[in-house]
Amino acid sequence: MKRLYSVLIVLALTVTYAGAQVVTERCWHLDKVQFLQHKQDFWRSHKLYSTSAQPVSLFSGGYYNLTELNYGLGLKDKNAPFADHFAGITTVNGMRFGGGLALGAGVGFFTYGDYLNDGLDYIVPLYADVRYFIGGQKNKFFVMVDGGVLLNFTDFDDNSRYFTNPGIGISIPIAKKSVLSFTTGLFTQYDFDYFNDKEEGYRDTFINMKLGLLFGK
């Protein structure tokens, strides 16, 4: 009889242990499944949040406006008119295509200081703006080039000129549809006679900087 009781006790303990192992394995398996599900949900929500949190992604295409403060410092013959330095404001309206290429048209107002009259004179720039944003990161570098005419309505024939302005810059999102833009480049202006007679015509070159805000849909 005692042997029978001993066998029954051992059998009961074995069954209990085996049941506990099965329950433990099932619980571990369920915990693992739930952990993997939570992990997938986390990364899915993180990806959605990260995508929606990048305002630059909204500029993948469509209309934009860029308004910039400009400053240029003359590099060579600063004693010539309109050659020492200038400051002003410009605004560009255009379209972005696929997040990279952007084409626009700009207008502005520049005031010039020079050593000849110790005063300021003004010029109105009318120009085309082409820029290309590089990469898909939040803060984007870009290359740009402006080109057009500088119109002086006081003395149109003698003081109006052409200009080109290649440069590089960076754009930094500051709000959902607003981007801070900083550009530096080489601003060169030519009088109307320069391309016909370089002996009579003249050219002035500046290092210029632009700080602006870009708004887009």
For residues 42 and 96, state if they share a domain. Answer: no
For residues 144 and 38, state if they share a domain. Answer: no
The torsion angles phi and psi of 75, rounded to 5 degrees, stand at -110, -25
For residues 67 and 45, state if they share a domain. Answer: no
Number of domains in the chain: 2
For residues 3 and 83, state if they share a domain. Answer: no
Beta bridge partners of 94: 64, 104
For residues 136 and 29, state if they share a domain. Answer: no
Reply yes or no on whether the pLDDT at 35 is more than 90: no
- Say if residue 149 is exposed, middle or buried (CB neighbours under 10 Å; 0-12, 13-18, 19+): middle
For residues 16 and 92, state if they share a domain. Answer: no
For residues 159 and 185, state if they share a domain. Answer: yes
What is the average pLDDT value for the chain, to the nearest integer? Answer: 78
Per residue in 134-148, pLDDT tens? Answer: 987 889 999 999 999
3 state DSSP class of 98: coil
Per residue in 158-172, pLDDT tens? Answer: 778 999 999 999 999
CB 66 within 8 A of CB 214: yes
Reply yes or no on whether the pLDDT at 54 is more than 50: no
For residues 34 and 89, state if they share a domain. Answer: no
Q: How far apart are CA 59 and CA 56, in angstroms?
A: 5
For residues 45 and 96, state if they share a domain. Answer: no
The pLDDT value recorded for residue 207 is 96
Per residue in 73-95, pLDDT tens? Answer: 998 776 677 888 999 999 999 99
Structure tokens at 121: 């004179």
Paired sense of beta strands 61-74 and 203-216, if any = antiparallel
* CB atoms near residue 23 (< 10 Å): 10
Domain of 148, in residue numbers: 59-216
For residues 114 and 128, state if they share a domain. Answer: yes
For residues 139 and 66, state if they share a domain. Answer: yes
